Structure 1
């Protein structure tokens, strides 16, 4: 709240009690509950506006994606170490159910390369340890449990946890997984048998070249198919640039390449198998029609204990891959997704899919891109894609018999190659942050030499460690000032200097790369620093130490030089060192720029108190702490509680604001009388300085509390309409400022008042 008084604007905040906040919450609780329940089904908000134009767009996009998802699903199921039909089961449920909960129109749910790789590695690990659990039971239970965990996270609105994992981690395990999948498909592409494609990637890589002489005729299907896929893609892109008016035709021709390749290769495979009892190439063979795996998933202690170690990585992939893709397409197509609702959608989809025999599914980047480019209008397009999958399951399974495995391998390699972050991404990442590049590289390397599961853990763990380190060790800047040229007739407002133009300054670090040579120090006895992080328990001790060390480095000790016997046990300074520092000024005030501090907890507040107490002892008198750019009323309230609004702080130096251990009754209970007198003198000087700066007629003995009461009384009056521009506001507390210039000027005024005190009072201060 702002009030205009004596020609200047004063700022204060109305404090709302916890009781009022609680009453307000319960008053709005029914509305919050209704909004929460309605938000679970976003389809209810737009289904009433559904029209024929939307239907046409959804139909075209749905069928287009369906044509792509059928071959990809069967290929991804092979990566998951499951029969091909399980990929179709997974695709069907994800495509049909997602639209009920979706906040993204572009996302296509179904099997993905990274999730399939994790499921395959999990299946391989568990089946090698236990012969009583089948691969399909593992995959179905994995879908149920990861879906349940994801849905719980969404329902309790913990989607914020996704924000703790940076983009470089996602790019890292996506790139590592794409490399792993690509190399894992090489043996199938060349028809080479006897290589365990679930080994670590470097072992597959070595064994592939070791067995390369065993290449079969499958290589013809695989390599030609791969060349056809890339040829059609780049050919259509070139034709689109050459003939832009036919861009739509070339786009649909391009995305049909997977289906066309499967049809051609299957036809050739059928022809070369006529009259043969054994196929010369590896083919899919019989795929049962319909949903043959429907039923209640097996979830017992053996299954749960087997997949428990893979659940965290499964949930991370499930959520991260989906939310990242949804946000990306939301930004591209100008709509906003709700991460928590998307997590609920993906969770429910996987729970429901487990009863159809599906393994975990999430958003697919490549299919979502195709869906968006095809002109999709609403999430209902997924239902039409699901109908294409159902048609394939019931009508086309006999034709799937002759699909070559090498062709499916080519489809997989072609699809996952887009997930690899190329050299341009790495260059940009290196120019932005070497730490993020380090996370990216570690994730790719760990995935390459171990498994995608360990790669995820490495990326997430390393990212959190770096985040915590940045919080615990924030940047600390010692500030100087650069004089600014006058850009207009700006005059100070007090009568003593009326008509004089006020010099303004730019406050920047001494080490600023561009302005560092122009920076000049602040007036003698005044220092200024900036903290670029919230002031909380992980970094409070570090920031306090930096403040104390900075001030002690640039000022001298106050009072007499102590002898060796008078020094504290932890004081390593010598009289010679102190004598050499005599040319340094005595510290009078420290200005803290807290514009970047958006949180101050009890540990941070105590650290500021401790820093002031330590500097008081060092300087031999009270050191003023001024605060500039307090952005949040809660931070201001905390500083007021600690007494920083009306310094000097009454009570014991080094007092605990919120003591962890209660103060001992046997300890010191009150300040020495001479110290108390010094504080009274300092408070009088500070108050007189502030009142003179605002033009009040109070005498020097008046207190800031009286001035504050004056201000509170004016709140009942009608608010003055302020014109533009306004003078820089002033806080009702003299140590809180809205500009660095005001803080420096206030410090200079109190310094001049301190210098003008009688000698007896100065002795009491020092």
Structure 2
């Protein structure tokens, strides 16, 4: 007999103590993944690997410099702070990350939130500078993410749905684009107000457009021309594909360089009064290095923005890392990735950096450039250091309108297109509305409110689905009748043996009862494909399938659904002739008589399909007991409870402890099971080959209890020797637990037949 003995608490503690040294060792080494791959560096092709990492890193470095400068402006900081942020992230990730493609640095949405936080704090406390606020935010965000990574609770990010992420990302991209629009045209507008107000102010002051528009619009056109034209040209001329790929990667840098050269020739003699807006002085080196501190005033004033910053940092990084890991066939560790961005932000705060995380655009460039290991990020950091120490004089003449165009071009890809929205509408209307609400709230209020709204609605939808699982009633459809099919009726030459074919098959069927029942599949009663094919279940048997675990949020709903299904398919066995004893919720004598005239059977047995149930809690067990008591009162007898497809040992043990493993309190009740005892003789050879008999006897276990349902017979083609292989599956030690629904229903029918033999005068039971 099959049984599963759960481990005692003492055994569990002993096991944990035994495995603790290995677990601790793996945990410590897991904190520095570089030790797991550095010794695998392909030294036979060292030059090739190193060269490929260098090419990918330098390519991303040339992209991250203009982006870092542009994103710093979004954060209301001077350009050099974007470079500080870029340097620390790409350099440290090599030691702590598990992805070869991720590039940590400033991103648009976080930059926007940091800018909003700086504006809010400086408005209330003018004595606190923007860089000080940014470093404080970076330190705090890094500490929180570091703790999340250390205690390994990165699973929390899985509770945020993709539509919610896409919603606030789309709204943020629209917000950022609209905020950069006045800068492209050289118009001075307050970009810290709601996006729709920015649009209103932009058109109100459109007549104030300056020469900056020529630079900004031209840069925007060139960026899209290179992007779209390169794709079409590479499809037509495959030989230019690689060159066009690198041109597409470098397009932002090239536009900034060309725009800066033109700006230099225009403004070189007019530094005091430039023709167009330029970023002007950028200090060389790491000018802002110093000890960062947690300013409680900053944290208090920015408390509404900080959770959004941390949430986006984690979601953006982990989702990007997972996506590129799937594309390149490697697996990342989400908890270690969160730890990596935590360390990057803590260290970055001492360099004057603001919060950073993995960026999708730069990660895509890193992957397409052929990075072999995380070492590529070190080369990106080297490019940033070179820019800080050598190129800062050239940054003086970079046009702000060109940087605005670079930002718009970068963030526009974050906007979800019509294809995504169409697929979302088809798959889930509720999630589509969450997406729309996130976009609308972000655009009309602010980014953090949009984030909270989308995440809150996403979690609410998840809880709603958890609290309202599908509980369905099953019916059965016959697969084959009691007549067997001959092998000659099968075009492939395979089939079941006819009863009259040979004495061998007759003997086997007599021994193993193969033809004693028809074969059924169990489907939902509401499935229109099987409505006309369904056979009735044995009278009084109700089969119910649960679609999820039973936990406290859905336990009461599951109880209601089970009760409703049972009551709608059976009639009560309790009647009250004495009107004084009748309770308010019981039918009157007249109603009771009419109810009994309905051709519904009396409730006898409930079969629960637990194939989707892998968790039960205390509330679930209490609810199951309540249903059991209610059904016993309803049926005026002890109702049999049968469970099938129990895949979780924990669920099985909880049911046993709650008393659901037995039927009628008799654990030894056989319910129609056939016992093979130790004294049984071997299966006799009824004309079967010796090899087949060896297979049959080798499968037998003298202590195994079998349902007749689990003996199956397969035959070879007609021109071969009939080699019947009988597969014996052990039944559960507890008679209320079964392999599948068919075994449960068959066990109930066999039990009824046994009772009918013992009590021939009892109610007639329909044969299964």
Specify the TM-score bucket, using the shorter chain as the normaliser.
Answer: 0.7 to 0.9
Match of 2:40 in 1: 49
**Matches of 2:554 and 2:386, distance apart in 1:** 60
Could you say what secondary structure the match of 2:626 adopts? helix
Return the match for 1:185 from 180, 187, 191. Answer: 180
Match of 1:30 in 2: 21
Question: Which residues in structure 2 correspond to 1:280-679 (within 5 Å)?
Answer: 280-485=275-480, 488-489=495-496, 495=510, 498=513, 500=515, 502-569=517-584, 571=585, 573-582=587-596, 583-649=599-665
Match of 1:251 in 2: 245
What does the per-residue CA deviation read over 1:280-339, in whole Å, with 9 as the maximum and x for residues that have no partner?
211111111111111112423212212223221111111110000000000000000000
Report the Cα offset of residue 697 of structure 1: 12
Match of 2:161 in 1: 166
What does the per-residue CA deviation read over 1:200-231, in whole Å, with 9 as the maximum and x for residues that have no partner?
11211222222222211111111110000010
**Matches of 2:516 and 2:268, distance apart in 1:** 98
Which of 272-281 and 578-587 deviates more? Answer: 272-281
**Matches of 1:406 and 1:270, distance apart in 2:** 14
Which of 279-288 and 492-501 deviates more? Answer: 492-501
Could you say what secondary structure the match of 1:480 adopts? strand
Correspondence 1:15 to 2:6: yes
**Matches of 1:556 and 1:142, distance apart in 2:** 66
Taking a change above 3 Å as real, the CA distance of residues 499 and 556 of structure 1, as seen in their structure-2 partners, is closer
TM-score when scaled to structure 2?
A: 0.87
Match of 2:203 in 1: 209
Taking a change above 3 Å as real, the CA distance of residues 500 and 351 of structure 1, as seen in their structure-2 partners, is same
Match of 1:742 in 2: 743
5+ residue gaps, structure 2, are 486-494, 498-504, 680-699, 705-711, 713-723, 764-768
Which of 178-187 and 270-279 deviates more? Answer: 270-279
Could you say what secondary structure the match of 1:591 adopts? strand
Could you say what secondary structure the match of 1:581 adopts? helix
**Matches of 1:713 and 1:241, distance apart in 2:** 70
Which of 453-462 and 149-158 deviates more? Answer: 453-462
Report the Cα offset of residue 696 of structure 1: 7.1
Could you say what secondary structure the match of 1:308 adopts? coil
Report the Cα offset of residue 573 of structure 1: 2.9
**Matches of 1:286 and 1:508, distance apart in 2:** 73
Cα RMSD over matched residues?
Answer: 2.5
Which of 397-406 and 748-757 deviates more? Answer: 748-757
Match of 2:142 in 1: 147
Could you say what secondary structure the match of 1:12 adopts? coil
Which of 451-460 and 411-420 deviates more? Answer: 451-460
Question: Which residues in structure 2 correspond to 1:697-716 (within 5 Å)?
Answer: 714=703
5+ residue gaps, structure 1, are 1-9, 650-682, 699-710, 716-721
Match of 1:670 in 2: none
- Count of matched residue pairs: 698
- Assess if the C-alpha contact under 8 Å between 1:77 and 1:86 holds in 2: yes
Report the Cα offset of residue 494 of structure 1: 7.9
Could you say what secondary structure the match of 1:482 adopts? strand
Report the Cα offset of residue 378 of structure 1: 0.9
Which of 347-356 and 598-607 deviates more? Answer: 598-607
**Matches of 2:452 and 2:34, distance apart in 1:** 35
Taking a change above 3 Å as real, the CA distance of residues 481 and 388 of structure 1, as seen in their structure-2 partners, is same
Could you say what secondary structure the match of 1:689 adopts? coil
**Matches of 2:726 and 2:323, distance apart in 1:** 41
